[in-house]
Structure 1
Amino acid sequence: MLDKAELRKRIIRWLEDNRGLILTVIGLPASFLFDLVFQVRNWWYRRFLSSPSQHDDRVRAIQRQVRTWAQGDKSKKMCTARPNWLSLSTTFFNKNECHKVSVPLYDILSLNEDKMTVRVEPMVSVGDITRFLIPKGYTLAVTLEIADATLGGLAMGVGMTTYSHKVGLYQEAVVAYEVVIADGSVVRATRDNEYADLYHCLPWSHGTLGFLVGLELQIIKVKPYVHMKYIPVHGQKKYCDKIRELSGANDATKETPDYLEATVFSKEKAVIMAGTFADVQTTKDRAKINHVTKWYKPWFYKHVESFLDQGESEEFIPLREYLLRHDKAIFWVLESMIPFGNHPLFLLCLGWMLPPKPAFMKFTTTPAVRAMTFTKQVFQDIVLPMNKLEQQIDISERLFDTYPILIYPCRIYDHGGHGGQLRPPRPDQKCPNDSTWGMFNDLGVYGVPKKVRDKQRFDAVKAMREMEKFTQEVGGYPFLYADIFMTRSEFEAMFDLSSYERVRVKYGANAAFPHLYDKVKPEIDVVKVGREYMDPL
């Protein structure tokens, strides 16, 4: 007779082996209905309840909640009442231990075409803002590829995109933050006003300094299409050198494409994508339009991979479709869930239900599935210096051996004496002819490590801690939406929290909001769980 541990292993093995079938038959339809309910709710809100003119009233309601907390039992610190499963983080912060404050702010407030800014409430999503701006000839300077990501979540966390080699991280495109601080007052923080210290510490703070109630964001002028050039490169040094060259990492005066990224399909093979804003006016160019997000189209990264054999090519992609090109396959994470999901027959028949909504996947996460999110998979975005790109690829292959890998070049600025959680780039990381910034990149590693695919012993804890050690040594930073494996002291060695701690004291956040480390650390003991799930099933 099987004991409980062996029975659990067999059940998990069966679920893993049949995950694609289960997700197709049960998960996708349920996710589609789940999303439909939310779309109806959002439509109802925008049609009957939305009113930018009532923004100040909604903010005053939030202030009253904070002041009520301040006048009562302050044994519990504050957090938003938004359910955990609506966030894109892989972790589940225990909000039941906090005093929850409702922050129902979903409106686009105003567009200032003279100042090239848009003012929004924090719960506006990437999908919302692209629908609003692109028909008017604009987009955000930094636009994430996932439609469900919220602009406030990106502001309090971090965002990076394929325009970041020109402007830097999402935080560089924030003109102003409007924040309700611990005493219930509202402050407007900009980079050069009396709240500049708060302005520089809000990015990467994950809601631990105040409640965000408004954002003013930089926008850029655009054209309807992106003229995309696909450049396949064979040889690690060649593609690393090529992307450094195209990004302007070696020469700040060099003209660069509007959008730039690379997808690495093996240690020696990559496709670099260089896009420029374009109009499509001729019959010849119209024939090259590719609607990459149509439900029957292959997943974007599979389309990109085809150029390794086809050779260099070009096409025109409608701008909004380019910006959301990875949404359908959640980059390439969906392949580990539905291995046959890119088959033409599947796409034709069921592609319209893709992707399974992240909120639904998180809402239905069980403890066993939660453990699998880091013991059987890797899902990490890491900011690393581009002069160490070859080493990044090498260590990722050694530790995880999963491809593709995403590379987005991104400027990291030296803001001098202004504080923030990121340290200035080191001298050897800075652009040779512009000492105000260094070229870094997002290393996106998503998928199932080869050892797990081969049913071999995989120590996720050891692998991730080694990756974090490398990240700290070269002056990089992991995005904090994903699981971290650092102790508190290791976290404080990686991030510069000196200004953050001063700001917490100055604005009363110590007594009012959880500390950053406590907010972003995994809600489970990753080391203990990692050991339990390490043995192959």
Structure 2
Amino acid sequence: MVGSFSHELILSLSVFQEICSEYTEVDLCIMDIALYLAGLGLLFFLWVKGKGLEYVIVHHRWIFVCLFLLPLSLIFDIYYYLRAWMVFKMCSAPKLHNQRVKQIQKQVQDWKKEGAKTFMCTGRPGWLTVSLRVGKYKKTHKNIMINLMDILEVDTKRQVVRVEPLVSMGQLTALLNSIGWTLPVVPELDDLTVGGLIMGTGIESSSHNHGLFQHVCLAFELVLADGSFVRCTPTENSDLFNAVPWSCGTLGFLVAAEIKIVPAKKYVKLHYEPVQGLAKICETFSLESSKKENDFVEGLMYSMDDAIVMTGVLTDEAEPGKVNSIGNYWKPWFFKHAESYLRANRGETEYIPLRHYYHRHTRSIFWELQDIIPFGNNPVFRYLFGWMVPPKISLLKLTQGETTRKLYEQHHVVQDMLVPMKYLKKAIKVFQAEINVFPLWLCPFMLPSQPGMCHPKENQAELYVDIGAYGEPKQKCFEAKASTRHLEKFVRDVHGFQMLYADCYMSREEFWEMFDGSLYHKLREQLNCKEAFPEVYDKICKMARH
């Protein structure tokens, strides 16, 4: 029996040797690598099985992100890029747009025929939005499917681009820049959509000259609560035009928008100026924000006393050796690159290709990615895997378990507070006392005196600043609800505003103390929205999201 087994083993080994002799050294090397990777995969699977998937996602999130979400995000990007390219080349979007709008109208009319038993909302899944939370109302309201994600027309004579609401900033700048045009205001992250930037708000470092994203929009097209179609401009249905921004889809369904475009230039000549001391930081930032000759102004505060103030000018010419294509995947993250000038304590000027500048914070999601992939800015990681970065915010939300959500809620802050520039110094002190998060993003914007939910206290335009806090609070006594409410109260007291994508802990009365609801409520009454859509507060308050 033993002899028979030995004989079979010898035969098997000889057969294996014959097979191996047919392979080259390269083939064997590839086999070794494949076996090694398979072994690693098996060990990882056993480790995940032993620890539990939830444990790995919560305590070692970078593993899950690197192995699964980065490849998935890349596939998403490739799909949407190819789709947008084909649609534009075939000119199919304008032909299909009217048909799609009629389908939306039919859905609204069917809702009415069925008795209008619940409120309506868009059927887009909550995890696809850029806000950190998912609206609970999606499960209880009538979902109206709005599949509108294409660029409809670029009219260079009128200097207008007409787009559907789900067109993203990345999609729009890729097309416009390729034909020599751009938007006056381009909010940084690729995945931000036109609809979200209109129904919510959007800002960019050019906003000190052009205002918020809503202020470069020339027309909105909506389907109303009764299923009718309406177009509104500053002169046609002007009340509705002014009430739509910040309304979060509670006056009607946005189906198209016309946005102003301007000729593009090749580069942004960007100057980095390190500034020390809070008083000097606020003085320098305020001064540069008031200069119309600056096309772009931005500040990054790395501590209470250290900041980089950046000013940019559009240009077609660049000095030799000073072009920095900061958007390339192997380049350092932008906020780290800017910090290097602060550490060296020297000013510097360089030329950044226009689209690279627009999306300078995309790869690192400002600085949020350092908390998800701690080694993400390491040169080795950037060169090997940087081409897959960043993971989609929507996929990060989709794969969050309840434990991760609770951890983020209690130990993570994402807020944008808009305050008058004259209160900048005081505001930074309040941010430091309540949450102590750095870096802080500073972005100036001019807020015109126009009707609507968001306008200056006095009857004239005023310079404001967006203070963005994204990260883990270092304040020992931080408590999400109490600390955020203190911030909200300060912002209300100085006649500022809170961006509505973030967690809002205000009561209804406090919310309408911050925002002017006079025109909004008037339109809600006139257009019979009260039975069709929830009030904006009921969509954005903390209780409405999870």
Q: Is the 8 A contact 2:84 2:171 kept in 1?
A: no
Match for residue 158 of structure 1?
201
Match for residue 4 of structure 1?
none
CA positional deviation for 1:55: 1.8
CA distance in 2, matches of 1:14, 1:232: 40
* Superimposed CA distance per residue, residues 174-220 of structure 1 (whole angstroms, 9 cap, x where no aligned partner): 11100111111111111122x11111110000111000011011112
CA positional deviation for 1:59: 1.2
CA distance in 1, matches of 2:70, 2:536: 35
Instruction: Give the letter for the 1:66 counterpart.
Output: V
Match of 1:392 among 418, 422, 427: 427
CA distance in 2, matches of 1:76, 1:391: 44
Match for residue 264 of structure 1?
301
CA distance in 1, matches of 2:223, 2:320: 49
Which stretches in structure 1 are left out of the alignment for 5+ residues?
1-9, 249-253, 427-434, 527-537
3-state SS in 2 of match to 1:450: coil
3-state SS in 2 of match to 1:51: helix
TM-score of the aligned structures, taking structure 2 as reference length: 0.86
Match for residue 420 of structure 1?
452
1:74 aligns with 2:119: no
Match of 1:227 among 252, 259, 269: 269
Match of 1:239 among 281, 284, 288: 281
1:309 aligns with 2:376: no
Q: Is the 8 A contact 2:185 2:207 kept in 1?
A: yes
Match for residue 177 of structure 1?
220
Q: What root-mean-square deviation, in Å, do the aligned CA atoms of Structure 1 and Structure 2 show?
A: 2.1
Match for residue 104 of structure 1?
147
CA positional deviation for 1:47: 6.7
Q: Is the 8 A contact 2:54 2:401 kept in 1?
A: no
Q: Is the 8 A contact 1:35 1:357 kept in 2?
A: no
3-state SS in 2 of match to 1:277: strand
CA positional deviation for 1:494: 1.3
3-state SS in 2 of match to 1:306: helix
Instruction: Give the letter for the 1:305 counterpart.
Output: E
Instruction: Give the letter for the 2:452 counterpart.
Output: G
Identical amino acids, percent of aligned pairs? 38
Q: Is the 8 A contact 1:106 1:124 kept in 2?
A: yes
CA distance in 2, matches of 1:219, 1:47: 21
Q: Is the 8 A contact 2:209 2:292 kept in 1?
A: no
Which is greater in Rg?
Answer: 2
3-state SS in 2 of match to 1:166: helix
1:142 aligns with 2:142: no
Instruction: Give the letter for the 1:450 counterpart.
Output: K
Number of aligned residue pairs: give it.
493
Match of 1:292 among 326, 329, 333: 326
CA positional deviation for 1:12: 8.2
CA distance in 1, matches of 2:217, 2:240: 13
Instruction: Give the letter for the 2:180 counterpart.
Output: G
Which stretches in structure 2 are left out of the alignment for 5+ residues?
1-51
Matches within 5 A, 1:294-443: 294-310=328-344, 311-415=346-450, 419-426=451-458, 436-443=460-467
Match for residue 493 of structure 2?
473
Instruction: Give the letter for the 1:425 counterpart.
Output: K
Match for residue 444 of structure 1?
468
Q: Is the 8 A contact 2:296 2:312 kept in 1?
A: yes
CA positional deviation for 1:134: 1.0
1:505 aligns with 2:525: yes
Match for residue 125 of structure 1?
168
Match for residue 17 of structure 2?
none
3-state SS in 2 of match to 1:315: strand
Distance 1:108 1:38, change over 3 A: closer
Q: Is the 8 A contact 2:212 2:447 kept in 1?
A: yes
CA distance in 2, matches of 1:78, 1:154: 20
Match for residue 509 of structure 2?
489
3-state SS in 2 of match to 1:213: strand
Match for residue 431 of structure 1?
none
3-state SS in 1 of match to 2:71: helix
Distance 1:332 1:188, change over 3 A: same
CA positional deviation for 1:501: 0.8
Q: Is the 8 A contact 1:34 1:360 kept in 2?
A: no
CA positional deviation for 1:43: 5.9
Deviates more, 1:30-39 or 1:405-414: 30-39
